[in-house]
Amino acid sequence: MTKPVFKTTDKKGPQSYTAEAKAGEFVFREGELGTEMFILQEGKVEILKELYGEQKQLTVLEKGDFFGEMAILEDLPRTASARALSDVKLLQINGSTFDQMLRNNPEIAVRMMRKLSRRLRETDLLLQRALGTTGSAAPEMPTPDAAPAASAAPQRLVHSKSGMEFFLAAGAETTVGRRDPVTGIHPDIDLTPVDGQRSISRRHAKVYQRGGRFFVAEEIGTMNGTFVNGQRIETGVPVEIKAGDEVRFGVIETVFHPA
């Protein structure tokens, strides 16, 4: 299989490069040296790891997801392979454009930190198991495709245009956003079905329940804002919501309905 051919698409300031790969082609292979990461613009890419002589699929990435970032952060060989599941278009990010990317899109930086944090937690759990400090009842690590475990509560957000209902989690906190295969994080409320413009960040906001009252707070790195009754809320500052309040995530308008 041939590797995708890259071409320069912007020569103003730091160069950016795009690539097109056919289904089945490898973007890179495990063990290769790399000096760039990629952002998926179109199509799907699978991340593969060789285990016992076989390629095991770790996750499937879609438009807007990034991969290969460890080549930017560390001068080490690739720890996994990336292969196109469909015809894809990619944006290549090298060291000279990395800082500019983070300034223009802080959500990428936040997601990268969450991904690294998740890896550290998983590594710590593996070490504890190897040392026998967690006991036989230690919970299994969640797989990238695992669904949220929390059950639904009667409180809900109703999408204004379609009437679709999105129920809050039964616990004290409910995450709102889009499924993120890069970090393996799944929000309790996934608004992807009604967000055709992808205006919602993957971890966009949280809804809190405290003493029978409900609050919404915007997460760090959210790009397109969170609004209550038309007023944009400040990142990290909870704002109380009541029955009939309009809560907008990006361009997605919902109405809050308590039990």
- Report the DSSP beta bridge partners of residue 10: 16
Question: Do 90 and 160 reside in the same domain of the chain?
Answer: no
* pLDDT tens per residue across span 9-41: 444 444 557 888 999 999 999 989 888 889 899
Co-location of 158 and 252 in the same domain: yes
- In this prediction, residue 127 carries a pLDDT of 62
For residues 64 and 90, what is the distance between their CA atoms, to the nearest angstrom? 10
Asked if residue 100 and residue 156 are part of one domain, the reply reads no
135-173: per-residue pLDDT in tens? 544 444 344 444 444 456 799 999 999 999 999 998 899
Reported as a pLDDT band with limits 50, 70 and 90, residue 122 is: low
Residues 88 and 161 reside in one and the same domain: no
Q: What is the dihedral angle through the alpha carbons of 192, 193, 198, 203, rounded to the nearest 10 degrees?
A: -20
> Which domain range does residue 253 map to?
152-257
Domains of the chain: total: 2
Is residue 205 assigned to a domain? yes
Same domain, 95 and 173: no
Query: What's the pLDDT band for 130 if we cut at 50, 70, 90?
Result: low
Determine the average pLDDT of the residues in 212-227: 89
| pLDDT higher than threshold 70 for residue 4 | no
111 falls within a domain:
no
Could you read off the pLDDT of 177-196 as tens digits, one per residue? 988 776 666 899 999 999 98
Q: Quick check: 157 and 178 in contact, CB under 8 A? A: no
Could you tell me if 100 and 216 are in contact, meaning their C-beta atoms sit under 8 angstroms apart? no
User: Which CATH number covers residue 201?
Assistant: 2.60.200.20
Q: How far apart are CA 252 and CA 159, in angstroms?
A: 7
> SS3 of 113, please?
helix
Are 166 and 257 spatial neighbours (Cβ–Cβ below 8 Å)?
no
